[in-house]
Chains A and B, each alone.
Chain A
Amino acid sequence: MTGKLRKLYNNAVFLNIPYDEKFSRLYLAYIVGLIHLGLNPCVTLHIPGGQRRLDKILDLIGNCRYSIHDLSRVQLDSKAPRTPRFNMPFELGLAVGVQKLVRRPHEWFLFEEKPHRVEKSLSDLSGTDPHIHHNTVEGVLRELGNAFVRRSEDEAFSLPRMLKTYRSVRNQVNKIKLQTGAQSLFESRTFGLLCTAARAASNH
Chain B
Amino acid sequence: MAHSVTITSRIPSFEETAKFYGLSKADTNFVSGLFVSTTNLKRSGTSETRKGMFAAKRNTSRKTKSRDGKAA
Contacts and interface: CB of A to CB of B under 8 A. Distances in A.
Interface stretch (A17-25, A72-80, A85-93, A193-201): A193-201
Nearest to A9: B20
Given A40-B12, A189-B27, A197-B31, A150 B7 contact: yes
A200 B35 contact: yes
Contact of B21 (A37, A130, A195, A201): A195
B20 A147 contact: no
B3 A10 contact: no
B31 A151 contact: no
Contacts of A147: 2-5
Nearest to B26: A179
The main secondary structure of chain B at its interface with chain A is mixed
Contacts of B12: 8, 11, 38, 40, 199
B11 interface: yes
Given A8-B20, A199-B12, A199-B14, A179 B5 contact: no
Contacts of B36: 200
A192 B21 contact: yes
Interface residues of B, number: 29
Counting chain A residues whose Cβ lies within 8 A of the other chain, the interface size class is 35 or more
A129 interface: yes
Contacts of A176: 31, 34
A37 B6 CA distance: 11
A149 B31 contact: no
B10 to A, nearest CB: 7
B8 interface: yes
B2 A129 contact: yes
**Most chain A Cβ neighbours within 10 Å, of B13, B17, B18, B35:** B17
A109 interface: yes
B53 interface: no
Contacts of A40: 12, 17, 20-21
Interface of A: 8, 10-11, 35, 37-40, 66, 107, 109-110, 128-131, 143, 146-151, 168, 172, 175-176, 179, 189, 191-193, 195-197, 199-201, 203-204
